[in-house]
Chains A and B, each alone.
Chain A
Amino acid sequence: MYAFDFVRPTSVADAVAALGEADAQALGGGQTLIPALKQRLASPSTLVSLGAIAEIRGVCLDDDGRVCIGGGTTHATVARQAAAHYPALAAMAGRIGDPAVRNRGTLGGSLANNDPSACYPAAVLASNATVITNTRRIAADDYFQGMFTTALEEGELITEVRFPVPQAANYQKFVQPASRFALTAVFVARFADGVRVAVTGASEEGVFRWTEAEAALSDSFTPGALAALSVPADGMIDDLHGTPEYRAHLVRVLTGRAVAAAG
């Protein structure tokens, strides 16, 4: 690690002010950032810890029945506290990493990082959630802009994410054998006005919606509705763990399984 200064503000306002300094960076749970620091791949001048900001932590329901989760809420907290409101989301959070990762890593950190194999982006996109920052509200469809790229501006903080609760939903994660991130994973959410299908781990462009499947499933929410569909292998990730063809195939298999499990 290179040397850095460390501050631990207690409000979003103070954090945003601290992030105004040159090369300052927010520190959530550190589950992505600390390994990068240890490998000397990042050299912030100041780390602004979000760990002491109570206002961005916790899970609650708003008046519209949406599940609202603070940007600093850990995966473990979501797994516990969202279970009654949005079981598929809680189950997804409960399978991120290992207990240490879940007890440190946060929703805001995961979304800010937007790893192409991360789980939360699929949940946020499939749920048509709204990402709330210190300055604005960003619809999920506008938020994700490719691998490790988001709509966030420099120094902008995710303070909360609001998840509309679907009638039925399921997340199918097929793990990469080494990292146990998603080799490919699919989040299917069925709302009164249609079905949304978000895929992570598969595409070089990061999380994406499989719109053909959404249309077919909106007509008939059964695995059979996918029978005639296939996902093109073009643009899928090619690495040690799977070819583009394999990932494209998994998208269909996992979508079918998610529909079957969502019931």
Chain B
Amino acid sequence: MPKDHAPKDRGIGASSRRREDVRFLTGTGRYTDDINLHGQAHVAFVRSDVAHGRINAVDTEAAAAMPGVLRVFTAADFASAGGIPCGWQVTDRHGAVMKEPKHPILADGKVRHVGDPIAAVVAETYEQARDAAEAVVVDIEELPAVIDMKAAIEDDSPLVHDDLGTNLCYDWGFVEDNKAKVDAAFKAAHHVTTLELVNNRLIPNAMEPRVAVGDYAFGTGDHTLYTTSQNPHVIRLLMGAFVLGIPEHKLRVVAPDVGGGFGSKIFHYAEEAFVTFAAKALRRPVKWTCQRSESFMSDAHGRDHVTKIELALDAEGHFQAIRTETYANMGAYLSTFAPSVPTWLHGTLMAGNYKTPNIYVNVKAVFTNTVPVDAYRGAGRPEATYQLERVIDMAAREMGMDPIELRRKNFVTEFPYETPVAVVYDTGDYHATMDKLIEIADFAGFEARRAESAKKGLLRGLGINCYIEACGIAPSQLVGQLGARAGLYESATVRVNATGGVVVMTGSHSHGQGHETSFAQVISEMIGIQEDQVEIVHGDTANTPMGMGTYGSRSIAVGGSAMVKAATKVIDKARKIAAHLLEASDADIELKDGKFSVAGTDKSVEWGAVTLAAYVPHNYPLDQIEPGLEETAFYDPSNFTYPAGAYACEVEVDPDTGKVTVCRFAATDDFGNIINPMIVDGQVHGGIAQGIGQALLENASYDADGQLLSGSYMDYAMPRADDVPFYTVDHSCQTPCTHNPLGVKGCGEAGAIGTPPAVVNAVVDALQRAGHTHVTHIDMPLSPARVWAAMQTN
């Protein structure tokens, strides 16, 4: 339901309409699949239909002779190419670096998951390529599949990568030095609550499947890759430097309109390297458009943790210690950021909103014969939040305490707060978001609503939880120490045109988030010009400064900060020009509403007159200032940002069928300052829908042979409009971030992080209230069948 937002009509705090929606909603966006180059050929991949096997032979002769076929590629063609690189190296409990297998562009010697590409056929048309792909004869000796993570690290398990000698990628302890203290705290505890749970594997399913078009200009030696990416510069660096050996100045990566990513389009994929390579080999543009069924088995999946968490409390309910043991599925190869997700994006968040003095997190990352697993909306933080908020709920029940009071008793209240898991929360007010939640969720009316449900024969439950997340990734030096092989700054160039319009070239990438609108609002606010005087350019390495792209709710906090820095430089210079024009001193010049004026006088000059002077420097202090008005800035954050909030979910459970209906959902989020309240609402809405999807519907499931049982929408349930209620969201509790210029924290992932525990807590609450007192936990997704089965065990 639309609601009245801040009354401002432009700038920071205005609910400006998303300008990009005009093209998205009228079918005039330009997506990668809309790019068709002259003379373009098409590729179809031959993919493994077994999870694990030795490749004895790949016979391409018949395929190569098929109509329209230009060439059939196999692993042998990539002998000189590097493997798909991993961008993060984790060091284990014992000081050893993680096991890092080679990830070839096309399977070499072995296939390691259903969907692993073995050969690639390039032909004049896609249909011809596909026909010929079927004629490629692959002789595979099938091997037993490694699927179950715990079995995978037993001594007798088959190996996904023979040369590694183990399926254990790393065994990480955090903080290893805390372990003894944590164990001691458990021994001394009054009460210990233990919960074993599964954080279900998810398939991202962005609306737009992945696409890649490679182009090569042999006259100049320039490569261009058009791709569905959240971070074109990262792809340029990874693919250029590590895979194909193309220097960055000869490689342009363009990520035009991108139809959703949710993490799955961060990573560098083999298909991108393939089309780039093949375009040069064939001197023809080569295009790949992923089929939806292909994306199920080639896009990196998300989550897939199996966890045991223990919470130690004293008699009053003060948290004494947390200890966790998690098995994290890496899949068959290490995707770009995979190792960081269950470690630095998960272990560091295990304190949640609470002051628990002792925390120890153990994570065993395991290779299996499944699609690689990597960051997916929230990435590690949903996994941390889910286990923590579930175990707290369980502890409250076991100790006969109110779940809200138990949380409040343990809230962090003084900031900055350094957790025992190595992060410093700069600011927050968890009581405030909880107070607000109680108000907007109408807890007072719950009993009456429960009685109404009971009249219909339905069991109503109420679930609440808190969350905290670390966004705005990330301080480069810190992540460097933690194993990142990249910096995580962001960049922007602010170019002012002679007539006063502004173009911002940002290293952030928008694939649905609305940056073109919200970034323009910031510039509009800073200069005092209309938003339509500002254009945001992103997604092309040829015309944007080196940037790290968009994920981890980092765009406004890091990319926005870079833009503010660059705009500040521009304004400072413009102020000097204005001072010259007004014959005053810089220090006396004020910029307001697009006008420079001399403080305390009525002398002023318009923004446009100053910008014109910058480019037509006739009356201009050329001896002191260069002409032109364009500045670039890089911003490297000094800390993460810590959005936090409290969520409430009300469900009805049908006791006869186990069907769960989400009736009400309320979210209070502290995102710090807000640029566009409407866009923030939308981000939270989308995140909640994804969270409900994970909690109730979505389940990527493999059988023991490594076949993906949920390989299409026939079995993989995405949330639909009627699976979700209207949401009540509030972000009026604002503790601005203390260390970035806008005081912003980031809002892109909160919904997906905070929602799953709220839903599961609500279902367990409904069953408990109905007398199913043995039902203390049900693993996600809480499908009707699972909920019903849980009720049968009484």
Residues of A in contact with B (beta carbons under 8 Å apart): 1-2, 39-40, 174, 177-179, 183, 239-243, 245-246, 249-250, 253
Taking a contact as CB atoms under 8 Å apart, the answer to whether B789 and A178 are in contact is no
15 sampled A-B residue pairs with Cβ under 8 A: A2-B131, A40-B134, A174-B659, A177-B697, A178-B715, A178-B718, A179-B713, A179-B715, A239-B715, A240-B709, A240-B715, A241-B715, A243-B785, A250-B657, A253-B656
Taking a contact as CB atoms under 8 Å apart, the answer to whether A178 and B785 are in contact is no
Closest approach, in angstroms, between the C-beta of A113 and any C-beta of chain B?
14
Taking CB atoms, residues of chain A closer than 8 Å to B717 are 177-178
Taking a contact as CB atoms under 8 Å apart, the answer to whether B710 and A240 are in contact is yes
Taking a contact as CB atoms under 8 Å apart, the answer to whether A178 and B657 are in contact is no
Taking CB atoms, residues of chain A closer than 8 Å to B658 are 246
Closest approach, in angstroms, between the C-beta of B657 and any C-beta of chain A?
6
Count of chain B residues with Cβ under 8 Å from any Cβ of A? Answer: 26
With contacts A240-B699, A240-B715, A241-B783 taken as known, whether A249 is within 8 angstroms of B293 at the C-beta atoms is no
Taking CB atoms, residues of chain A closer than 8 Å to B715 are 178-179, 239-241
Closest approach, in angstroms, between the C-beta of A97 and any C-beta of chain B?
12
Among candidates A1, A178, A250, residue contacting B716 with C-beta atoms closer than 8 Å: A178
How far is B784's CA from A240's CA once the two chains are assembled, in angstroms?
A: 11
Closest approach, in angstroms, between the C-beta of B6 and any C-beta of chain A?
38
Query: Can you name the residue of chain A whose Cβ is closest to the Cβ of B781?
Result: A177
Taking CB atoms, residues of chain B closer than 8 Å to A2 are 131
Taking a contact as CB atoms under 8 Å apart, the answer to whether A177 and B783 are in contact is yes
Query: Can you name the residue of chain B whose Cβ is closest to the Cβ of A253?
Result: B656
Chain A to chain B: the 9 pairs with minimum beta-carbon distance, closest first: A178-B717, A177-B717, A242-B785, A179-B714, A246-B785, A253-B656, A178-B715, A177-B697, A240-B709
How far is B657's CA from A240's CA once the two chains are assembled, in angstroms?
A: 16
Most-contacted residue by chain A among B699, B713, B715, B718 (CB, 10 A): B715
Taking CB atoms, residues of chain B closer than 8 Å to A179 are 713-715
Query: Can you name the residue of chain A whose Cβ is closest to the Cβ of B714?
Result: A179
Starting from the known contacts A178-B716, A179-B714, 17 additional A-B residue pairs (CB-CB under 8 Å) come to A174-B659, A174-B784, A177-B697, A178-B710, A178-B718, A240-B709, A240-B710, A240-B715, A241-B783, A243-B789, A245-B789, A246-B658, A246-B784, A246-B788, A249-B788, A253-B656, A253-B657
Taking CB atoms, residues of chain A closer than 8 Å to B696 are 177
Most-contacted residue by chain A among B134, B659, B699, B783 (CB, 10 A): B783
Which DSSP category, helix, strand, loop or mixed, fits chain B's interface? loop
B701 within 8 A of A: yes
Closest approach, in angstroms, between the C-beta of B279 and any C-beta of chain A?
27
Residues of B in contact with A (beta carbons under 8 Å apart): 127, 130-131, 134, 293, 656-659, 696-697, 699, 701, 709-710, 713-718, 783-785, 788-789
Closest approach, in angstroms, between the C-beta of A124 and any C-beta of chain B?
23
Closest approach, in angstroms, between the C-beta of A263 and any C-beta of chain B?
18
How far is B711's CA from A179's CA once the two chains are assembled, in angstroms?
A: 12
Taking CB atoms, residues of chain B closer than 8 Å to A253 are 656-657
How far is B659's CA from A174's CA once the two chains are assembled, in angstroms?
A: 9
Closest approach, in angstroms, between the C-beta of B205 and any C-beta of chain A?
12
Taking a contact as CB atoms under 8 Å apart, the answer to whether B714 and A178 are in contact is yes
How far is B789's CA from A241's CA once the two chains are assembled, in angstroms?
A: 12
Taking CB atoms, residues of chain B closer than 8 Å to A243 are 785, 789
Taking CB atoms, residues of chain B closer than 8 Å to A40 are 130, 134
How far is B784's CA from A174's CA once the two chains are assembled, in angstroms?
A: 10
Taking CB atoms, residues of chain B closer than 8 Å to A239 are 709, 715
Query: Can you name the residue of chain B whose Cβ is closest to the Cβ of A257?
Result: B656
Closest approach, in angstroms, between the C-beta of B326 and any C-beta of chain A?
24
Closest approach, in angstroms, between the C-beta of A212 and any C-beta of chain B?
19
How far is B781's CA from A178's CA once the two chains are assembled, in angstroms?
A: 12
Closest approach, in angstroms, between the C-beta of A245 and any C-beta of chain B?
8
How far is B657's CA from A174's CA once the two chains are assembled, in angstroms?
A: 9
With contacts A39-B293, A250-B657, A253-B656 taken as known, whether A241 is within 8 angstroms of B714 at the C-beta atoms is no
Taking a contact as CB atoms under 8 Å apart, the answer to whether A178 and B701 are in contact is no
Most-contacted residue by chain A among B127, B658, B718, B784 (CB, 10 A): B784
How far is B658's CA from A174's CA once the two chains are assembled, in angstroms?
A: 11
Taking CB atoms, residues of chain B closer than 8 Å to A249 are 788
Closest approach, in angstroms, between the C-beta of A88 and any C-beta of chain B?
20
Taking CB atoms, residues of chain B closer than 8 Å to A240 are 699, 701, 709-710, 715
How far is B130's CA from A68's CA once the two chains are assembled, in angstroms?
A: 44
Closest approach, in angstroms, between the C-beta of A91 and any C-beta of chain B?
17
Taking CB atoms, residues of chain A closer than 8 Å to B659 are 174
Taking CB atoms, residues of chain A closer than 8 Å to B789 are 243, 245-246
Taking CB atoms, residues of chain A closer than 8 Å to B697 are 177-178
Taking a contact as CB atoms under 8 Å apart, the answer to whether B788 and A178 are in contact is no
Closest approach, in angstroms, between the C-beta of A34 and any C-beta of chain B?
14
How far is B713's CA from A40's CA once the two chains are assembled, in angstroms?
A: 17
Query: Can you name the residue of chain A whose Cβ is closest to the Cβ of B703?
Result: A240
With contacts A240-B699, A240-B701, A253-B656 taken as known, whether A177 is within 8 angstroms of B784 at the C-beta atoms is yes
How far is B785's CA from A188's CA once the two chains are assembled, in angstroms?
A: 23
Taking CB atoms, residues of chain A closer than 8 Å to B785 are 241-243, 246
How far is B784's CA from A242's CA once the two chains are assembled, in angstroms?
A: 8
How far is B785's CA from A1's CA once the two chains are assembled, in angstroms?
A: 36
How far is B34's CA from A198's CA once the two chains are assembled, in angstroms?
A: 49
Taking CB atoms, residues of chain B closer than 8 Å to A178 are 697, 710, 713-718
How far is B524's CA from A119's CA once the two chains are assembled, in angstroms?
A: 57
How far is B699's CA from A242's CA once the two chains are assembled, in angstroms?
A: 13
Query: Can you name the residue of chain A whose Cβ is closest to the Cβ of B293?
Result: A39
Taking CB atoms, residues of chain A closer than 8 Å to B657 are 174, 250, 253
Taking CB atoms, residues of chain A closer than 8 Å to B709 are 239-240
How far is B714's CA from A239's CA once the two chains are assembled, in angstroms?
A: 12
How far is B659's CA from A102's CA once the two chains are assembled, in angstroms?
A: 25
Query: Can you name the residue of chain A whose Cβ is closest to the Cβ of B701?
Result: A240
Taking CB atoms, residues of chain A closer than 8 Å to B710 are 178, 240
How far is B33's CA from A118's CA once the two chains are assembled, in angstroms?
A: 35
Closest approach, in angstroms, between the C-beta of B701 and any C-beta of chain A?
6
How far is B213's CA from A18's CA once the two chains are assembled, in angstroms?
A: 42
Taking CB atoms, residues of chain A closer than 8 Å to B131 are 2
Closest approach, in angstroms, between the C-beta of A171 and any C-beta of chain B?
16
Taking CB atoms, residues of chain A closer than 8 Å to B716 are 178
Taking CB atoms, residues of chain B closer than 8 Å to A183 are 784
